Amino acid sequence: MLKTPVSHPEILHALGSAGHLSKILISDGHYPHGTHPNPRAKIVWANFRPGLLDAVTVLEMVADLVSIEEVVVMEPHRDGPYAMKENPPIWKRFEEVLRKRSDFRGKMQPQQKPQFNQVARSDDVCLVIATGEMAIYANILITIGVVNGGQKEE
């Protein structure tokens, strides 16, 4: 049995095969998993039922496993039937996880849905984790960074 915080073989294989600048899509339960991601990306179906497994828990897991260089979130519409005046509440939870569990010190970059989906289809996406998250706009793209390896900078 592994002693890592994650023992899911498909996730470990996908991340172990990825490298610097590869991307991980953590998608909510509303995301069209079958039509939008890169068809070569490994899809892990963790959407057992609505609300289980949630996007925040999956982000915690990913933050424990890889260095994070960049974070992109799907920006809500600001007008229309699904408009949101404020940022989605789940973004605060994402920021807390990133601050506490990762080496990421930048800001999450919002992208409108068409641009976000275009990046989610890119060749750089190595892993899609489909969650049962029910919060809207809870899709997050993580770019894998470089691990320092304990070398001292001069």
pLDDT at residue 76 in the model: 94
What pTM did the predictor assign?
Answer: 0.91
Q: What is the CATH number assigned to the segment(s) 9-144?
A: 3.40.1650.10
pLDDT higher than threshold 80 for residue 65: yes
- Tell me what the mean pLDDT of segment 78-99 comes to: 94
Does residue 65 have a cis peptide bond before it, meaning omega lies within 30 degrees of 0? Answer: no
Q: How far is CA 72 from CA 69, 83, 85, 149, 154, in A?
A: 10, 19, 19, 25, 31
CA distance linking residue 112 with residue 63, whole number of Å: 24
- Tell me what the mean pLDDT of segment 117-134 comes to: 94
